[in-house]
Structures are given as C-alpha cells and as structure tokens.
Structure 1
C-alpha cells in the first residue's frame, strides 16, 4: 500500500527481506528503468531525496527508490551521524539493496542501477561486487572497506566520482579514488573514475559552496546520465 509523503512526490512502500522489513521511498516514472539511491551517513534527509528526484527526471525518466537503511533514524549533527554509521549492519545493508533492486525489477523496471553518496557510495560499489541483479553503479565519494567488498571482483559497470580536496583518507580522498581505479582496471568491467578539481567531500549537496561547485555538479550529473543511459 502506497502513501504519498510530505513532499507529495514520493510514495512510501514497505519491502521485506528475510525476517526484516524496511521503508522505501519511490519517485518517478512507472515501468521505467530503476535506480536505487543510497543515503549518506545522515540518513534519508532532504539532500538524498533531492538527488533521487533529480535522478528520476534525467533523460526519458527513471524510477528512483531510496531504501531507509537506518530504519527511520536521521542524524542532525556529525556526532550522531557517526554513531549511526558505526552501528550500521553493512552486510544487512547489502541485503536491503538487493531486496530494493529485486522490488524494482518485480514492479516494472527491466534493469536497475545503484547510486549512492559517501556511505551510500561505498555501498553502491559494494553492491556492484556482491549483488548479481545490479546492472550498473554510479558512486559518489566513497569506497568500500576490503572486509565488505573487493572492487577488483566487480560484476557490474562502475562509474565513480571524487573530490580533489576530500579529506576522508583511504575512503574518499584522491588516493582512495586512484586505488579504486586500479582495482577496477584489473577486473575488466567497464569503469570510469572522475576527480573534480577544487571540490570538497559531498560537493553534490545543497550548501553555501554549491554555487561555486555548480560546474562540477552539472558535469557529474551529465556523466551520471550518460552512464545510466548506456547500461539501463
């Protein structure tokens, strides 16, 4: 049963996998290719909803689905966000992503991509390694730990975006980006790794810096559109 959310654009569904149920927020064209949109460490907030709406309106239109990996919790400050991400069951989150991809495929989307930001970017790449049903990935400023997933074993085409000035060492900085690129080269799947000069972590979000980053944001969305259009 669907219920419109406050913004009036999303429908809220419940998806079951194994012995747990989670909320999913869905926007976009029925029977279009699907895109699972994965949250940052903050939770399902306005930034991630805006990304999903934007993604749904690209090209001929997509059906975008945000799985609520935190089960309703949203952080308002960095300390709270850190607590939430440290408490995340990463393997369970991968299962949530798989269930979301399957839900879209069972509800009119013949192909489904996964995108995500920060924590969600790491999970998006991991899903391209671990979830066979994923048709392609676009990840923003995040890489999975070696314990979670090895990108050199990726099954799906992966495009990844990073900021030149990112300070999250080993996770989203330039070194992490170049390491990811080397691993993707070794596995032979189609891949692209882009680094945006002068940008900092989370440059895609609405922020005081967003106006300065607008060129990079537009370029990243253009590349997103081309990648999703190619594989979905």
Structure 2
C-alpha cells in the first residue's frame, strides 16, 4: 500500500505541474548598456525579435541625385566605401553621415544630399558600415547589424576620418544604429570633433569614455521608443553630466524610427522639427 500511495502521489504532483498555468515570458528589449556583446554594442538588440518588430520594412525608394561612391583605406588593411558629396569650394568642413541598421541605402543618400544642400560648402560623406550590404527586411537587417564586428566598425570609422585628413573639422549625424555610431565617431575624431547629432541611437553609458568627447551632443529620441527607452536616455544625460560633458536632448511623442520618411511609422511633424534643430546646430558648429 505504501508503494501504491507514493506512486499515486507522484502521479498527482506530475499532473499538477502539467496543468499549472505557464508563467508569462519576459518581453523587454535588451538595452545593451554594457559592451560585453561579441559583436558591436547593439548586437544583442539586433538579435531580439521585439527590437526587430520596431522596424517595418522601408518603403521602396530610388535615389536619383548627385554624389558618388568612393573607396578609402582602413587601418585593418582593408578598404571601405562611402557616398561622397564634395563641397563646391575647397573646404575642411566635413559631415559624416551614419546609416540606420538597413545599411547605406538610397534613403540615407537622399538625406545626405538634403544636409549637403542646406549646409553649403561642407563635404558630406555617408559611411558604408556594412561593406556594401543593404537589407530590406527587419530580420535581414538584424543579422547584418548583429554580424558587424566592433573592430571592423571602428576601423571603417577611422578610415573615413583619415580620408578627410588631419585638418578636417567634423560633425556627425546618424539614425538608430547610426545614432550610436555618430556618438562613437565623435569620440574617435578627437580634437577635430566640432559637433554630434544622434537620432534614437544607443547612448554610450561609460562615463570614462564619454570624458573623451571634445564636443557637445544633440540627441533626438522618442517617448514611445521601446528599444532606446526614455529611461536609458535619462541615464545617458546623467552620465554625460558626470563626465563633465554637455548634451541637449529633445524628446518627441513618437516611436523608434520617426524621422525616416521611408518608414511607415514616419512622424512628419517630429521629423521636420528635429531636422530644423539639427541643421541650425550643424551650421553653428561647422560655421557653415
């Protein structure tokens, strides 16, 4: 009877375990505030399906404007690509443009030309961070961003900075993945850095790294962004203060990717306001 009782009890416990409601799964998107990821600082986010769902496939667009593709050497012994709009007059003023996670697509080229036309007498270089690869679907973009090694990304950025030359004065701008890269670029530019604009990119949270900045930062973020959350932006502001650096943040009632006209969640009013502020900032920093 004892054996039967134990067996029956075991059966009931197993049955209870089977019938017990499943616990809800964590759906938060990782913020990647550390740099422990094997690839780049946003690689964990890129692999997360929830983060991928924040990016709908871009609407079809073909760029028909000015500019040319160029190649430049990188410190790792390779070469990299860029889309260059050269100033009509000789100029040491440079705007480095950093792509979204899709890659250097026609939308980025269009945006580069817009800055070029409005800034005047500034060289605009959109840097190809994926070595020629461009994604059109979120899952594909996630793989490209996740697979972009931190060392290669830095080497491409250093190559672009060297291409402009030691007398160049830099400002940078980028969106999403490129927003993070714009901030990293400003740190790599050293004393040549004059300005930095980042749109909803992952902020650097290491105070010691932020201390290396030689420029202030202008950041645009969305209060509805579930990837780069308002909480992470607040932490960034606090860390910039600890580093003795200045950051100006404008928070819009919008979601991730609100400034991309090829994005179905494009917010025209927020994008227009952000661009107006960015342009005024860049003109002041580059004295354009």
Change in CA separation of 1:6 and 1:205 when aligned onto 2, cut-off 3 Å: closer
Alignment partner, residue 232 of structure 2: 176
1:63 is matched with which residue? 123
State the TM-score, normalized to the length of structure 2.
Answer: 0.69
Match of 2:217 among 158, 176, 179: 158
Preserved contact between residue 24 and residue 65 of structure 1 (Cα < 8 Å): yes
Unaligned runs of 5+ in 2: 1-61
What SS is found at the alignment partner of 1:58? helix
Deviations 1:119-154 (A, max 9, x none): 11011112223331332210110124558x843543
How far residue 101 of structure 1 moved from its aligned partner, in angstroms, is 2.5
Contact 2:205–2:239, Cα closer than 8 Å, also in 1: no
Distance 2:120 2:246 in 1: 23
Map of 1:142 onto structure 2: 201
8 A contact 1:143–1:180 mirrored in 2: no
Instruction: State the aligned residue count.
Output: 219
Would the alpha carbon gap of residues 66 and 6 (structure 1) be closer, same or farther in structure 2, given more than 3 Å must change? Answer: same
Q: Distance between the aligned counterparts of 2:182 and 2:121, measured in 1? A: 20
Q: Deviations over 1:57-106 (max 9, x none)?
A: 22435321111111111112111111111111223212322321232246
Alignment of 1:19-34 (within 5 A): 19-30=77-88, 31-32=90-91, 33-34=93-94
The structure 2 residue matched to 1:116, chosen from 174, 177, 180, is: 174
Q: TM-score, normalised by structure 1?
A: 0.85
Q: Is the 8 A contact 1:166 1:201 kept in 2?
A: yes
Aligned partners of 1:229 and 1:188: how far apart in 2?
24
Give the direction of change, closer, same or farther, for the CA distance of 1:173–1:20 in structure 2 (3 Å limit). same
Q: Within 2, Cα distance between the matches of 1:185 and 1:193?
A: 13
Partner of 1:202: 257
In the alignment, what sits opposite 2:136? 76
Show the 5 A alignment for 1:181-196: 181-196=237-252
Greater RCO, CA 8 A, separation 6+:
2
1:99 aligns to what? 159
Query: How far does residue 110 in structure 1 lie from its aligned partner after superposition?
Result: 4.0
* Aligned residues: CA RMSD: 2.3
Give, in angstroms, the shift of residue 27 of structure 1: 1.6
